[in-house]
Amino acid sequence: MSEGVELSDVSVNFGSFRAVNNVSVSIKSGEFFSFLGPSGCGKTTILRTVSGFIAPSAGVVSIGGQDMAGIGPNRRPTALIFQNLALFPLMSVWENIAFGLEVRGAPKAARRAKAEELLRLVDLPGAADKAIAQLSGGQKQRVAIARALAVEPKVMLLDEPLSALDLKLRQHMRTELRAIQKRTNITFIYITHDQGEALAMSDRIGVMSQGKLQQVDTPKNIYENPANGFVASFVGENNVFKGKLEDVQAGVGTFLAYGGEVLRARVGPGVKAYSEAKLYVRPERVTLSPLGATPRRGANSAAVKITSVAFEGNFISVNASDNRGRRYTVQVPNDASVWVPPLDAEARLEFDPDKATVLQDELAVRDSEQGENTRGRQSFALEFAQ
């Protein structure tokens, strides 16, 4: 059985510093929910608040409808997997898995049987008597998961458990973690700064910045319909135009870029006509054609010169610049039917209005209020401004 987790107006202060700022979110029973954000955004603090290692300064944490105030970590229906796994090197694999049961007084035969059952669940049959030092990184991850499952938690809490693994093993373990979660139907709350992990594994994602929850939605909606500029920049890459929204009709606005271009795009939540904003369009939503080709009707368009072409396997990354020196990035499918411009070629860059979004920059006000600690967070975006 799993339980849902409810955070109601939760704040956590460390002295005068507010690490978590008025966060409210409802995590469903049996859901794989990820908190995604940069280092220092408060996501690990939330996890430790749910587990009971940190008490909220304000607000309520509930698990299965029960307020957790005054209930310590050892009495909560949760299990926490740390980033460093914290396996016991002098114990065998099965003894590591059964340690929590031993603490609870379970007899040895029952502990061994439970460990064997869980090793089959995490696809490590026959590893019970191995030493921890004999395991690979991915196998150690599975043992840590099995150890957490042994105490039959209602909620599994995972604090960046894949960060120490190499890329291919991380990708493999994503699939394994998701499969284990599906088989057990336990509520998983996952902490990560890796957007790929969050997008690949989660039922829903909560994107955080500076202690605040920016958006909670499905991976698809987080990527395709970001709530503000921070979410758009942190989750995936973007070409970003600075400018002003002129008018809005039926959810589509006319955007005057500071370089003089008049562009059309969807208008995101909270953006008002005649206000300063940014227009975001992802590299895979932009196309390139020979400069002399007929422009696509209704598409935004700009003349550019190709500055670099990089083969990246399933796509080709093309960088370009216009006559004002502003840079653009385009991802071209690795498909023989799609034109790939040569280096130094002149081309036409185009994107449809429904593939671009005008958003307010959530961090802009905070930059002026809090100074340099918020700057540099949008390094995933390319910004174009005079």
In angstroms, the CA 169 to CA 134 distance is 17
Supply angle C-alpha 163, 217, 138, rounded to 5.
20
Element (H, E) at 217: strand 212-217
Q: Which fold has domain 5-224?
A: Rossmann fold (3.40.50)
pLDDT value, residue 362: 67
pLDDT tens-place string over residues 4-36? 999 999 999 999 999 999 999 999 999 999 999
In angstroms, the CA 358 to CA 10 distance is 31
Q: Three-state DSSP class for 172?
A: helix
Task: Report the predicted TM-score, pTM, of the whole model to 2 decimal places.
Answer: 0.86
Cα dihedral 52/58/63/64 (nearest 10): 160
C-alpha separations of 242 from 58, 206, 245, 348, 361 in Å: 38, 26, 10, 20, 10
pLDDT value, residue 1: 64
Q: List the chain residues with pLDDT less than 70.
A: 1, 362-386
Q: Where exactly are the structural domains of the chain?
A: 5-224, 237-384
Question: Which residues 6+ apart lie within 8 Å of 182 measured at CB?
Answer: none
Residues belonging to the chain: 386
Query: Dihedrals φ, ψ of 174, to 5°?
Result: -55, -50
pLDDT value, residue 313: 92
Q: Which fold has domain 237-384?
A: OB fold (Dihydrolipoamide Acetyltransferase, E2P) (2.40.50)
Strand 187-192, strand 327-333: pairing: unpaired
CATH topology identical between 5-224 and 237-384: no
Q: Which of 64, 37, 61 lies closest to 49, judged by CA?
A: 61
Q: With beta carbons less than 8 A apart as the criterion, state whether 69 and 60 touch.
A: yes
